[in-house]
Amino acid sequence: MKKIEITDALQQTLIDLSKDRKIFLEGNICKVIDYEKGSDFGNYIEESIEIDKSKRRQRLEVTKDIQKKNIELVKKHDENDSLMKDLKVALSDAESAKAQALGDLDIMHKKTQFKLIGKIVHVALIIIISVGVVTTMLYAYAILYSSPETTLIGNTWSNVLGILLTNSFSIVGTIMGVKYASESKSD
């Protein structure tokens, strides 16, 4: 490569500039200027190259450091993204578990309700049947032994049976109503 020749006047101007204001030539231009080793201008060019090298070395270290930090930041950003994704999945799982638990709780409430209703019906039926059986037995006894109270017991028996039948239907109606209401609520 042909080197650039600098006139004596310009050489002196450059040397003076470096002495007065510490301004030197920078970059690869220093490497393509022709100079005589050991001369004032030669020393100036060598000093310029050294200063440029030192600045580049410093910049190289800073750039490498920034590059390293940049890579770490990108890595951390990726990690954060992955954590956010995991968190979203966990949140969604927790929400579905909550919905499931609420559903189970509702079913348990209903179960308890139905059990209670079942017990009430059971007890009511026992009472109804017992009263019916006792009254019938009493009526049968009165008929069998021609008791003077037969007519009275017969009327009572018919009244009690009527009341029991009415109550039975009323209980069945109430149960159906409760069942219908709880089904509509869950819908």
* Helices 8-21 and 40-144: angle between axes, nearest 10 degrees: 50
Among 3, 56, 88, 115, binds other proteins (CB under 8 A): 56
| AA identity, residue 174 | T
Residues 6+ apart with CB under 8 A from 89: none
Q: What is the Cα–Cα distance from 80 to 15, expressed in whole angstroms?
A: 56
* Helices 40-144 and 150-186: angle between axes, nearest 10 degrees: 170
Among 2, 7, 8, 28, binds other proteins (CB under 8 A): 28
26 binds other proteins (CB under 8 A): no
77 binds other proteins (CB under 8 A): no
Please say which residue, 27 or 103, places its beta carbon nearer to other proteins: 27
Contact 164, 132 (CB under 8 A): yes
Site for other proteins in 33-52 (CB under 8 A): 52
| AA identity, residue 45 | I
Name the one range near other proteins by CB under 8 A: 36-44, 65-73, 128-136, 171-179.
Answer: 65-73
3 binds other proteins (CB under 8 A): no
CA distances from 160 to 75, 139, 145, 148, 172 (A): 86, 11, 21, 20, 18
122 binds other proteins (CB under 8 A): no
63 binds other proteins (CB under 8 A): yes
Among 10, 66, 108, 126, binds other proteins (CB under 8 A): 66
- The binding site for other proteins (CB under 8 A) comprises 1, 27-28, 31-32, 52-53, 56-57, 59-60, 63-64, 66-68, 70
